[in-house]
Amino acid sequence: MSPTAQRPDALHPGAGGRATARPTLEEVAALAGVGRGTVSRVINGSPRVSAKAREAVQTAIAELGYVPNRAARTLVTSRTDSIALVVPEAETRLFSEPYFSDIISGVSAELAETDMQLLLILVRNQRERDRLSAYLTAQRVDGVLVVSVHRDDPLPGLLESLEIPSVLAGRRGDLEPLSYVHADNAGGARMAVRHLLRRGCTRVATLTGPLDMEVAQARLGGYRRALEEAGHAYDEDLVGLADFTEEGGRVAMRELLARKPELDGVFCASDVMAAGAMQVLRAAGRRIPDDVAVIGFDDSIVARHTDPPMTSVRQPIEEMGRTMARLLLDEIHERGRARRQVVLATELIVRDSA
């Protein structure tokens, strides 16, 4: 454990303190022998610059290690070159675990090419929600990405009326006016239920998320659709209302089991609910998948570690993040216009629980 090799240079604040005075555009202009305007044009890629002026400027920039001052630019353009990713903290707990990081990772990957900054804003209570409103009203970001939307969330409405470019992960309902990206929840659910039916299940139940979220509705819709396509009547007793959490999954599963002991398959709208359900089923002496087959949704790490490993619907979360960022950048640069929607395909990952 030797002392790590440090650059010797900064341990003594005395001598080498040249780093302080950052070169300005003016200095670049002087060194290149041109005016400020020309340097600015070069930096911003204007075509109205002669080849030799451009080259002189680029050389000077390199030599001085010049980096434009963002604040100065923002002050005059009132662009901030940054976007905010807004995450309601309450929701954070509901997410399939890598969800949050994967979204971030996708967004950040897409932004890496740009010189946009990513601001992270967690909102955990009303006070912070108000602060956020003030913040956004004050035009301090060029665009907003919102993760997780409840039907009655006031934020999207605010964004809409402020006309700030924004993209949602998920949507509030069918007629969402803002741009959004989401996974094909209905399709994934349908796929899962068809898989159960094909396996021979005849009494397929479902555990839903909170029905004021469109995701939950969509997954329930897919469940219903698959059953109807297969000629099964939709039976309300087979629907367990839950909330995406493990404990919620346990409770709902117990009720379901009491109400419909003959069920032989469960499609759960989240992996953690499925994990809870599996515990309850096992406690009730049901073997998985022999007596009851179980499918989750999200394909989170939890799915890989349950016993037996869980079959689950995977959504391309990182890709969602990328797409959100891409749509947002488009919207920022193309001066608004059309709202866009993207639906990404889901995929059934078959393991042993079904």
Partner DNA sequence: CTACAGTGTGGGAGCGCTCCCACAGCTGGG
Partner DNA sequence: CCCAGCTGTGGGAGCGCTCCCACACTGTAG
Quick one: CA dihedral 53, 58, 61, 63, positive or negative?
negative
Q: For residues 68 and 98, which CB has a smaller minimum distance to DNA in the complex? A: 68
**Would you say 150 and 216 are in contact if contact means Cβ atoms under 8 Å apart?**
no
Sites for DNA among residues 1-30 (CB under 7 A): 1, 4, 22, 24-26
Binding residue for DNA (CB under 7 A) from 10, 17, 36, 97?
Answer: 36
Contacts 24+ apart (CB under 8 A), 51-60: 56/32, 57/28, 57/29, 57/32, 59/32, 60/28, 60/29, 60/31, 60/32
Sites for a second copy among residues 333-352 (CB under 8 A): 335
Type of residue found at 53: A
Q: For residues 45 and 285, which CB has a smaller minimum distance to DNA in the complex? A: 45
* Residue of 279, 286, 248 whose CA lies nearest to 265: 286
Secondary structure, 3-state, 17-50:
CCCCCCCCHHHHHHHHCCCHHHHHHHHCCCCCCC
Q: How far is the CB of 330 from a second copy (least distance, A)?
A: 14
Sites for a second copy among residues 228-257 (CB under 8 A): none
Hunting for tokens 């099964």 — which residue is that?
232
Q: For residues 23 and 309, which CB has a smaller minimum distance to DNA in the complex? A: 23
By CB under 7 A, is residue 297 in contact with DNA? no
Q: How far is the CB of 70 from DNA (least distance, A)?
A: 8
Q: How far is the CB of 237 from a second copy (least distance, A)?
A: 24
φ, ψ dihedrals at 147, nearest 5°: -105, 130
Sites for a second copy among residues 80-99 (CB under 8 A): 80, 82, 85, 89, 92, 97-98
**Would you say 205 and 223 are in contact if contact means Cβ atoms under 8 Å apart?**
no
142-181 mask for a second copy (x: CB under 8 A)? Answer: ---------xx----xx-xxxx--------xxxx-x----
Sites for DNA among residues 62-101 (CB under 7 A): 66, 68-69, 72-73, 75-77
Binding residue for DNA (CB under 7 A) from 17, 37, 261, 336?
Answer: 37
By CB under 8 A, is residue 283 in contact with a second copy? no
Q: For residues 151 and 287, which CB has a smaller minimum distance to a second copy in the complex? A: 151
Q: Could you tell me whether strands 347-349 and 311-314 are parallel, antiparallel, or unpaired per DSSP bridges?
A: antiparallel
Binding residue for DNA (CB under 7 A) from 10, 16, 17, 35?
Answer: 35
Q: Which two tokens stand for residue 128?
A: 């912070």
By CB under 8 A, is residue 100 in contact with a second copy? yes
**Would you say 254 and 228 are in contact if contact means Cβ atoms under 8 Å apart?**
no
**Would you say 123 and 87 are in contact if contact means Cβ atoms under 8 Å apart?**
yes
286-325 mask for a second copy (x: CB under 8 A)? Answer: ---------------xx--xxx------------------
Q: How far apart are CA 44 and CA 39, in angstroms?
A: 9
Binding residue for a second copy (CB under 8 A) from 90, 112, 345, 350?
Answer: 112
Q: For residues 76 and 258, which CB has a smaller minimum distance to a second copy in the complex? A: 76
